[in-house]
Structure 1
């Protein structure tokens, strides 16, 4: 052999990739095959064929079955490569030799074998692992015609076998879920509604002893004939429209020879269609609600007994729904107030309450209803003769067995005589002091002239003022001097007009620090309407106030800078473009329009303090110039969605470009045209906004020969700025643009759709 060149006797190892080079460099002195120069022509031919193939192959040759393999087989060997080259087959795969020796014996006896997905436990990487292979063993003859070895072509199918096993396990799990689903389910095929599947709940409903699979529903359930269900199935199959029913009565013979018993079901018949939209079957699903219907009937009977008891009780009784609407008033209420059951239901009962008590009574009731708490209040109730009587109204929330809030049951009792006594006792100063001193707020009572009558203990603890120091007008000394100039004239105004005295003020704490408080005071007038006292409360809001001031400062600065910047840009644009030629005037106008669209979007964000903006408001603002033209028509619909500023601006510019193009060439260029803007929110780890712009009724659309700046602006603003995707198609009926935008930073939930 010459240096640097393959000798003629080893040409069969050329073109064999890395394994050919490895065989040429291998030390064959210890191998039973000997050097390749001495290999028989039959072995050379097979080796040449194997090395040039990309398919995994190996050869076992000679009495010891020396192992030779190609590049395609190397991944199967794992860590055994390249040490296995030339070793006996038995030593190479000793861990699987008991499994494959019978197959090797057949090949050496002249019988070729083929095996698909054979399971073998191999140790190719130092540990046992389950593997599967599809392979064939074929005998190889030498020059004498005798069998000198065997040839194998193989493919590892481990992943395919495991995938099939996983798929089967998943299918079995789904079948088990279908079988064990709490609601009944059945799959019916064809016009005759033949049962293909039915779960345990369905068999339990119709009776387990029925043999239903593969049979038409009319044959399986003959007792249902005449009850309308077969006709419903026929209609769903014919029309392709689903059917939904609640509390449907169905007579079933659930045991052979037994009587037909009534059951009640909530039912859905859902048509199943093929790829062409043709109905091929019906999926029946629902629940046996017999117990619920029976419970509702029992409830109606119970309610009848309750009404009889309440109507004859000495107190007035009422019942509400969870939303607070009154659904029952006892006869004693109607007799006392003169209301009829119809006029008092809902919130009509408030009409019988004294006008001065009506609003606050309603507020107490609604707050308690929101919190689902028991409550008690006293108000004046108009008797049938027109006089007002004091009444105590007490109620407790009702809850179902599952904890569901059902509303209230309450009672009303005339307490006029008792109230007169309590009114005299309520004037007790000691009782009043006890109540006010336990609150953490600053509570105070001033005379009609503004002099201090009472300051609770918390006031003195906070300000450090003594009772003597705070008397008269001394309490004003605890007020910040700047606030005093503003508040004291306002306090004088409220005393003169009787308006509610409320606002924010800084009080000096005993350590000298001033802290912000929110205060509110209401006047108390005597029977002649003269204000004799003011009752007020002040609450410390210092931390909230500091944060609000800081936030307002930042937002105002941002708004100022944005507006100044846009004003400068617009002025520069107007100045720079005022001498453009008539030919370039449309381009200049397009640029100015884009600036105005951006400014409109900024106006929306500015109104919202740059905390975000509603998508609908952004769209309305951009298309508003077109809406002023009576021939421009938009249909806008989608759930409420609040966007972060960056997303709002990108969408505003995209909608502007689409509207501009539609006004020039598309649906907005003709009176009959219309633009439909819709959006939905798709759930997921990162929710996405899918906004669709579709033009209808415009001139026929042709695909533009080039991409304009507007198209590039839409794609750049949505893709680069907010990571969205844009699909713009030019269907003959009208251009369609679909924007798919991630909402990872912008919250949004679908609420009541809005339509313009």
Structure 2
């Protein structure tokens, strides 16, 4: 008959609590935080404690050394064994541990006596496999220890070889095993700490389905701190399946050949069905073999190099953009030189006009450099191109309009030509002349930028007999570079230029 059936039968109704309390071996039941949950009478007897004094109290409360102080070695041994049993969910054994136990004297008083114990710590699990209790079972092996010591000092042969073997050799071997296990545990903990703190991501995958057995904090950060323990890669990171990473793991497991990736794109989803976030990784998959050479898992190691890859991409883009700008700038300079030469037969006049136009181009370049070539505002462009003139005679009125680099360069050249023309022949050539520059954005659905350049108070102007380079440059820049329209009107009050361009081409 099974034990459960015996317990349930009416004629053998066993009180397990009474049986626990009647055991001659000391038992103590602990919560996972090592507070006392229960104990039997043998434990109270051997520790000279009262149930009401220790129930619910920390087991090691009496040994608390305070901050900065280390607990006694025997306390550390017991605590380490208990914590190991809780973390691994498996029983852990201490072969030998020494404690001083109080003993009452017949004539009165109390002394402390060194006693040696062998302890077993067994985790109690719930149906979900979580540790809810820890049971400590101790056996007093003091007499064996004394027999071992006596056999080591007995020179007259009073102790038999059998007693020496039982009392000495067996116990000594148990102590050696315990010390070896302790050293191994210390080394393992040190390696585990190094593993967890490594700056690169590391994981250990077991079996042909690549199940997560171990992973460090860097790997958790890379995978958005998902639940990985005990899951396969396909279960924990389903979005990487179509990206070929599972296939690479399969190849390593089947062939035993490492697989390495450099700057490999890894696309992850923080939530299922959510947007992808791109990361770039350097990694290597290496097989893990048993002593016989059989592959049992894969060691994953790598670094998140997203910042480096993006920086390299930005650098390449900037170099390509720079090459493009240099070519465009040289083409612009060549065009300015050729058109200026056609308009000026005198070398001195050519040099002055050509230099002025190059300075205009340079002014806008300086403005764009300050914003790392992300763009410039229309008002700033106007101010830079007209600052060589009396700026108090130039009135600017309009909303902020951010412009892209190409648009800014073209508009800068236009403002330069208009200001130069005004200084030579128009409003700025007369003491009382003024220039009014207004701009606005029309039609919010099909947004268009409208710029009005109006000169007043200057000499009377007339339609020129021939179109000079300045006029041709303004018309070419507006119509070709800005895909807009320009209307130049020569009124009695001065030049009036109306420029209309689509704003979607102007925005950075």
Task: Give the TM-score taking structure 2 as reference length.
Answer: 0.38
